[in-house]
Amino acid sequence: MRRMFAAAAIAAIGLAPFGVARAAPADPAAARVEALCNGVVEAVKDTPSGGLQARAHRIQPVVEQNFEISMMAEFAIGPQWAKIPPAQRTQLTAALTRHTAARYAQEFDSYTGQKCLVDPAVQTRGPDKLVKSQIVDPHDRSSVNYRLRQYGGVWKVIDVYYEGVSQLATERADFAGVLASGGAPALVARLNELTAKMR
């Protein structure tokens, strides 16, 4: 957990620090981030001795509910997405979903009383909203920021900022070489390989 959320990503999007005492978020984007964060924490809490694979299994529905993974895959892949057959797009989305769940399971390696704090002061930037959150436990306070966009009337996460760096930007750079050498099947295989190594 500390590796994923250790950065002061606040500086990347210009958000001021917020206090511990907060009411439930009124903004639907903030409520979405709160649902994601609390869902991950509860999944970890409910699997105290199951290992990473068990945590990932419990976290995956939380990822599916709160992220718009298909759009994240499209944004990360870029213009080549339009050339990928629908069946391979589905495979890529599924592989990225599993990979995302496994990453959370790897970073949240145990439950130590973590609590989620979500700043209700949401920033709107064009079609997107930026939401700041913190994970607080008895020994640490870590920050992560989310970018959300509305799909079908529902706000979903489409990017996460760690240490001020966009997850989408990182994935775009990581995916480019694999796509160039082997296309979508190679990227699916690579994502599955990385997920298997974590598990």
Residue 106 DSSP SS3:
helix
Give the domain ranges of the chain: 2-198
The 10 Å Cβ neighbour count of residue 58 is: 21
pLDDT along the chain (199 residues), means of 10: 39 38 73 95 87 92 97 95 97 97 89 90 96 86 91 96 86 94 96 89
The pLDDT, as a whole number, for residue 24 is 56
Query: Quick one: angle between helices 167-198 and 86-107, nearest 10?
Result: 80
Torsion of CA 195, 83, 76, 66, to 10 degrees: -70
pTM recorded for the entire structure: 0.84
Q: What is the rounded average pLDDT for all residues in the chain?
A: 86
Q: Degrees (nearest 5) of the Cα angle 115, 38, 43?
A: 105
The pLDDT, as a whole number, for residue 3 is 46
The pLDDT, as a whole number, for residue 9 is 31
The pLDDT, as a whole number, for residue 162 is 79
| High-pLDDT (> 70) share of the chain, % | 87
The pLDDT, as a whole number, for residue 2 is 42
The pLDDT, as a whole number, for residue 107 is 85
Q: Please check whether residue 62 is in contact with residue 36, taking contact to mean a CB–CB distance below 8 angstroms.
A: yes
Which residues, other chains included, contact 183 with Cβ-Cβ below 8 Å and sequence gap of 6+?
84
Is the domain spanning 2-198 CATH 2.60.40.10? The answer is no
Sign for the pseudo-dihedral over CA of 41, 43, 45, 47: negative
The pLDDT, as a whole number, for residue 41 is 93
Q: Measured between alpha carbons, how far is 105 from 59 in angstroms, rounded to an integer? A: 7
The pLDDT, as a whole number, for residue 199 is 67
